[in-house]
Amino acid sequence: MVVDEANVIPLLPVEELERRQRRINSECPDLWRILDDVMDPEIPVISLYELGVLQDVSERDGHVHVLLTPTYVGCPAMKVMEEDARIALEAAGYPDVTVETRLSPAWTTAWLSNEARSKMAAYGIAAPDSEAAQCPQCGSEDVQQISEFGSTACKALFKCNACAEPFDLFKAI
């Protein structure tokens, strides 16, 4: 059977679908919107929601509960993300906040939306999962890996052979 690629609906991982539904069906859309301003401290163009770290937010009697899942368990930015979420909610008038970190479902780069990937590339970080790594500066696929690890646990270091620029690639896990 010939599959017309234009008609293929990309399948979302189940956990990601559930996460998006939690937001759509949420009784406190305002809280999700407040947290949309909380960015990844290392990639300040992607919000915690876009990154997939923000799993749920709920409110009862003025008490706000935020559920996060870590990207890499040893990532020092996780603590900053917790603090930033707390500060954003406090500034918006919710001083009573609990941030819970849950390991399951395990975070994966498969949850990143296409928008998030584009923002990442525009910021200079090649997005994960693409068939071939692409230079975020000139778009060339003629690239080489310099190191399996880059400036943070989530990135690998690459170099573009076409424009000679070094760049980070967000590791697919």
Partner 1 sequence: MTDSALIAKFAVRQGDDALVLGHRLSEWTSRSPFLEEDLALTNVALDFVGRARMFYQYAATLTGGDANEDTFAYTRDAREFSNLLICELPRGDFAFTICRQYLYDAFALPFMQALMKSSDQQLAAIAAKAEKETKYHVRRDTDWMLRLGDGTEESQGRMQKALDDLWGYTGELFDVDDVDRALIAEGIVPDVSLLRDQWLETVSDTIARANLELPQADWKAAGGRDGIHTESLGFLLAELQSVQRAYPGLKW
Q: Please give the residue ranges that form the binding site for partner 1 (CB under 8 A).
A: 70, 72-76, 102-108, 146-153, 157, 171, 173
At closest approach, how far in Å is the CB of 116 from partner 1?
A: 19
At closest approach, how far in Å is the CB of 16 from partner 1?
A: 15
At closest approach, how far in Å is the CB of 162 from partner 1?
A: 21
Tokens of 84: 């930033």
Distance CA(79)–CA(75), nearest Å, equals 8
Closer to partner 1 by Cβ: residue 94 or 167: 167
Closer to partner 1 by Cβ: residue 61 or 148: 148
Closer to partner 1 by Cβ: residue 94 or 107: 107
At closest approach, how far in Å is the CB of 52 from partner 1?
A: 13
Closer to partner 1 by Cβ: residue 134 or 152: 152
Closer to partner 1 by Cβ: residue 34 or 143: 143
At closest approach, how far in Å is the CB of 40 from partner 1?
A: 17
